[in-house]
Amino acid sequence: MTPDVLIVGAGIIGAACADALSARGLRVTVVERDAVGSGATAAGMGHLVAMDDNAAELALSSHSLQLWRDLVDGQPQRHEYSRCGTIWVAADDEELDAANAKAAVMSARALECAVLDAQDLYRLEPQLRPGLAGGLLVRGDGLVYPPKSARILLARAVARGATLAMGEVVALEEGAVRLADGSRLAAGRIVLAAGTRCLGLAPELPLRPKKGHVMITDRYPGFIRHQLVELGYVKSAHAADGDSVAFNLQPRPTGQVLIGSSRQFDTTDLAAEPGMMARMLRRAVEYTPALAGLNILRCWTGLRAATPDGLPLIGPDLSRRNVWLATGHEGLGITTSLATAELLAAQMVGAQAGIDARPYLPSRFDAQGRAYA
Ligand SMILES: Cc1cc2nc3c(=O)[nH]c(=O)nc-3n(C[C@H](O)[C@H](O)[C@H](O)COP(=O)(O)OP(=O)(O)OC[C@H]3O[C@@H](n4cnc5c(N)ncnc54)[C@H](O)[C@@H]3O)c2cc1C
């Protein structure tokens, strides 16, 4: 039977959309070229974080965080979930002012947070180097193991009758997709949730790959207890060009430490680059000197799909009939996957979602991918 919706890609976004759409009674098929939860999802740090660069980003991330807490409730270990909280580390008084401003924005959205002076900071995280000014603790943030969560979400959809088809979509046709083996799968609607690879199917989309490296250490339980991010991270995350690194450490429930983060434009080569790793490690050791004594087991990379305004594309693609977009989540797609799926499903069935869908509609860009003034 022809599905109501065919989703291209079973990363965290495609899996979450399959879950949400099947929960609304739609017949769903997901097509995946590689493995469920591969792509950027397998590379992501899994930090579930309220980001407040603008009101729309904060609305999407904070709403999605609540959906994550509801999802993992009662079974956190299945997702390797930990509500570790985030500490935004302030190196000096200027950054402490930024922490205070961030606290005001977050508190206005009822997000639980506390500004830390230096004493509080070292009590919570004694591995941080001396001389820091303080920070901001955001208590509701957490982490998951993204590929596992993608598999759980897709399994929920399959339990409701959704199907997973393995194969590579090579072309979009009217009411169907063409696979690499020549077969054609028809569907009422097609959702592009293929991350940066959406560009292979719809090259005009306003997406740009942004490469990132992540490293993981051996097990050192209790080395740090919160996700630690320098306040300068936001500047690095939103840089429009060039390479950048920022201090970003995560305590995995296994006792391992994940070390992020880097951002590079204009490359889709997934090879790990020693120069970039060295820059990340220097930055991390600047903030946590004892890290220099830990063993690193592995490094990997992934490609984030970045849009010009940093917000995802969620909704109908106005230049192709019955094609919908769920992509462009850049470095926040694990966090915002569940809210994305809710927004997409609500639009498809004409229902109300928990937040306003308009800031994320693809129609904010014209057919050449330029933003309307
Ligand atoms: C280094 C790094 C660290 C990150 N850390 C975080 C973090 O801590 N927190 C956070 O919220 N976000 C983080 N992100 C961002 C997050 O990982 C992404 O936004 C998210 O995974 C995007 O998911 P997706 O499903 O859209 O794309 P992907 O995960 O790339 O999934 C796309 C899927 O589509 C499949 N596919 C592609 N083309 C085709 C085709 N033609 N036919 C069939 N299947 C196809 C792929 O195989 C893949 O499985 C990070 C990203 C990177 C790279």
Q: Do 254 and 300 have their domain in common? A: yes
Q: Do 121 and 213 have their domain in common? A: yes
Residue in 299, 328, 301 with CA at minimum distance from that of residue 312: 328
**In the β-sheet with 323-327, what is the strand arrangement from edge to edge?**
163-166, 28-32, 5-8, 189-192, 323-327, 313-316
Strands 296-306 and 208-219: antiparallel
Ligand 1 lined by 10 (C-beta under 6 Å)? yes
Q: Separation of 324 CA from ligand 1 center, angstroms? A: 17
Q: State how far the Cα of 308 lies from the Cα of 205, in Å rounded to an integer.
A: 11
Q: Do 217 and 114 have their domain in common? A: yes
Q: Which two tokens stand for residue 86?
A: 């985030």
Under-50 pLDDT residues of the chain:
none
Please state, in angstroms and as integers, the Cα–Cα distance from residue 182 to each residue in 7, 169, 199, 222, following that order: 18, 10, 20, 52
Ligand 1 lined by 172 (C-beta under 6 Å)? no
Strand partners, 244: 263
Ligand 1 lined by 12 (C-beta under 6 Å)? yes
59 is a domain residue: no
Q: State how far the Cα of 166 lies from the Cα of 170, in Å rounded to an integer.
A: 13
95 is a domain residue: yes
Q: Do 232 and 297 have their domain in common? A: yes
Q: Do 259 and 154 have their domain in common? A: no
Q: Separation of 94 CA from ligand 1 center, angstroms? A: 34
CATH number of the domain that 279 lies in?
3.30.9.10
Q: State how far the Cα of 282 lies from the Cα of 10, in Å rounded to an integer.
A: 35
Q: Torsions phi, psi of 182, nearest 5? A: 95, -10
52 is a domain residue: no
Q: Which atom of ligand 1 is nearest to the CA of 193?
A: 26
pLDDT digits (tens, 9 = 90+) for 251-284: 999 999 999 999 999 899 999 999 999 999 999 9
What's this model's pTM, rounded to 2 decimal places?
0.97
Ligand 1 lined by 334 (C-beta under 6 Å)? yes
Last residue of a domain, one of 256, 280, 305: 305
Q: Whose CA is nearest to atom 26 of ligand 1?
A: 195
Please state, in angstroms and as integers, the Cα–Cα distance from residue 274 to each residue in 271, 277, 280, 346, following that order: 9, 5, 10, 44
**Going by C-beta distance under 8 Å and a sequence separation of 6 or more, which residues neighbour residue 266?**
none
pLDDT digits (tens, 9 = 90+) for 312-362: 999 999 889 999 999 999 999 999 999 999 999 999 999 999 999 999 999
Q: Which of 7, 67, 252, 304 to mutate to test the pocket of ligand 1 (most atoms within 8 A of CB)?
A: 304
Q: Which of 7, 13, 65, 258 to mutate to test the pocket of ligand 1 (most atoms within 8 A of CB)?
A: 13
pLDDT for position 107 = 96
Q: Do 244 and 171 have their domain in common? A: no
Last residue of a domain, one of 305, 324, 351: 305
Q: Torsions phi, psi of 106, nearest 5? A: -70, -40
Last residue of a domain, one of 305, 322, 340: 305
Q: Do 154 and 197 have their domain in common? A: yes
Q: Which atom of ligand 1 is nearest to the CA of 150?
A: 25
Q: Which atom of ligand 1 is nearest to the CA of 333?
A: 19
Q: Do 131 and 239 have their domain in common? A: yes
Q: State how far the Cα of 361 lies from the Cα of 345, in Å rounded to an integer.
A: 13
Ligand 1 lined by 194 (C-beta under 6 Å)? yes
Q: Do 109 and 235 have their domain in common? A: yes
Q: Separation of 273 CA from ligand 1 center, angstroms? A: 20
Q: Separation of 70 CA from ligand 1 center, angstroms? A: 22
Q: Do 346 and 225 have their domain in common? A: no
62 is a domain residue: no
The number of distinct structural domains making up the chain is: 2
Ligand 1 lined by 207 (C-beta under 6 Å)? no
Ligand 1 lined by 302 (C-beta under 6 Å)? yes
Q: Do 279 and 295 have their domain in common? A: yes
Yes or no: say if 126 and 290 are a contact pair by the CB < 8 Å rule.
no
49 is a domain residue: no
Q: Do 243 and 273 have their domain in common? A: yes
CATH number of the domain that 27 lies in?
3.50.50.60
Handedness of CA 327, 9, 303, 207 (dihedral sign): negative
353 is a domain residue: yes
246 is a domain residue: yes
Strand partners, 117: 134
pLDDT for position 74 = 84
Q: State how far the Cα of 98 lies from the Cα of 232, in Å rounded to an integer.
A: 10
Q: Separation of 146 CA from ligand 1 center, angstroms? A: 9
**Going by C-beta distance under 8 Å and a sequence separation of 6 or more, which residues neighbour residue 282?**
none
Domain that holds residue 38: 5-44+146-207+309-364
Q: State how far the Cα of 38 lies from the Cα of 32, in Å rounded to an integer.
A: 9
Yes or no: say if 305 and 198 are a contact pair by the CB < 8 Å rule.
yes
98 is a domain residue: yes
Q: Cα angle at 271 between 294 and 284, to 5 degrees? A: 30
